[in-house]
Amino acid sequence: MKLILGIESSCDETGVALYHIGRGLLAHALHTQAALHGEYGGVVPELASRDHIRRVLPLIRTVAQQAGHTLQDIDAIAYTQGPGLSGALLVGASVACALAYALGIPALPVHHMEGHLLSPLLSDPAPEFPFIALLVSGGHTQLMRVDGVGQYALLGETVDDAAGEAFDKSAKLLGLGYPGGPELARLAVRGRPGRFRLPRPMLHSGDLDFSFSGLKTAVLTLVRHHTLDQHGTVDEQIKADIAHATQEAIVDVLAGKALAALKQTGLERLVVAGGVGANRQLRARLDEAASECNFRVFYPDLEFCTDNGAMIAFAGALRLQQHELKRDYRFDVKPRWDLQEISCESP
């Protein structure tokens, strides 16, 4: 059991990869649907499913070719079973299970957030266990204590919006394109520090939970206050200033809580994963804190921060070594699924 095909289709990216136990990641390919959903300002689930159908088989052929393998060389297929959009998940799950059945090899359901969580282990140097994971994506904001593969203890999470959602919703209020996080981050570079100050919700709540839903209201108030005409136009410099203040508020809260988690547990390694982990300001802030406070911080390569097939193939490969594999090709998907549910007892 050495060569694992990974298929990711939980939202608006079709990701496929081939991971070899021993040789590492051999090939990966991604198709992003950003342009498809852009004109609607957010993901349209039905369009997402249809596009996954169009992309997944050509992507599988591409990675097999890039890696110099045929489908017959594959030993197991890992696919994202959840959480995510049910129609989109069904595409990846049905293709994975049908292909595995045809090839007579096992199909392996993977939790999308476990893929994100383990993705920094694809980099060199890889973090050793145990570590604190700050999981920051479009749907999740969580702090986990990770003692090993499958040993995940939730320390805190958002009580409302996720950090990625806060970026996306604020970006929309500023009239930026979809997905909003990277757009807002780009605009923030031109913002004047200190021009506006937004609230840091729950930063001093004493626990490791987050809340971001109030931030969009604060951004909306600023946007309204600085609207120039009836079309909702805001001065470009003011827009950049608001983007800067929004990013600062989100980064302050994420970094503050991550540091609190390290302090509370006494651990010295922090892993950051998920789309928001690509944010340069967040990385700069955590790097600075790491050198001041004597901990190490690990990130996935930028291309593996947002959704991708490599993290699914890799998580599948790590799980393969732990589980007895059944050649059972019935499948279901889990649009809502807590990472806690797949956690086994800590040693």
Q: Does 33 bind ligand KG4 (CB under 6 A)?
A: no
Q: Considering the complex, what minimum distance in angstroms separates the CB of residue 2 from Zn ion? A: 26
Q: Does 161 bind Zn ion (CB under 5 A)?
A: no
Q: Does 165 bind Zn ion (CB under 5 A)?
A: no
If the CB atoms of residues 106 and 115 are measured against ligand KG4, the closer one turns out to be 115
* Side-chain half-sphere exposure of 272, counting CA atoms within 13 A: 26
219, 226 Cβ separation under 8 angstroms: no
Q: How far is CA 211 from CA 121, 142, 156, 157, 287, in A?
A: 28, 11, 11, 8, 24
Q: Which stretch binds Zn ion (CB under 5 A): 52-60, 92-100, 305-313, 315-323?
A: 305-313
Q: Does 174 bind ligand KG4 (CB under 6 A)?
A: no
Q: Which stretch binds ligand KG4 (CB under 6 A): 67-75, 178-186, 218-226, 329-337?
A: 178-186
119, 341 Cβ separation under 8 angstroms: no
Q: Considering the complex, what minimum distance in angstroms separates the CB of residue 277 from Zn ion? A: 10
Among 120, 139, 156, 316, binds ligand KG4 (CB under 6 A): 139
Among 278, 286, 289, 317, binds ligand KG4 (CB under 6 A): 278
What value, to the nearest 5°, has the Cα angle with vertex 304 and ends 301 and 308? Answer: 165
Q: Does 115 bind ligand KG4 (CB under 6 A)?
A: no
133, 273 Cβ separation under 8 angstroms: yes
Among 14, 80, 137, 142, binds Zn ion (CB under 5 A): 137
Residue 130 preceded by cis peptide, ω within 30: yes
Cross-strand partners of 141? 136
Contacted entry of Zn ion, ligand KG4, none for residue 108, CB cut-off 5 to 8 Å set by kind: none
73, 4 Cβ separation under 8 angstroms: no
Contacted entry of ligand KG4, Zn ion, none for residue 168, CB cut-off 5 to 8 Å set by kind: ligand KG4
Q: Does 181 bind ligand KG4 (CB under 6 A)?
A: yes
Among 6, 182, 191, 201, binds ligand KG4 (CB under 6 A): 182
* Region label for 283, one of left (φ > 0), alpha (ψ between -120 and 50) or beta (otherwise): alpha
Q: Which stretch binds ligand KG4 (CB under 6 A): 57-65, 142-150, 181-189, 286-294?
A: 181-189
* Region label for 220, one of left (φ > 0), alpha (ψ between -120 and 50) or beta (otherwise): alpha
Q: Which stretch binds ligand KG4 (CB under 6 A): 30-38, 92-100, 274-282, 329-337?
A: 274-282
Q: Does 274 bind ligand KG4 (CB under 6 A)?
A: yes
Report the distance separating Cα 135 and Cα 141, nearest Å.
6
142, 112 Cβ separation under 8 angstroms: no
**Footprint of ligand KG4 on this chain (CB under 6 A)?**
11, 137-139, 164, 167-168, 179-182, 185, 274-276, 278-279, 306-307
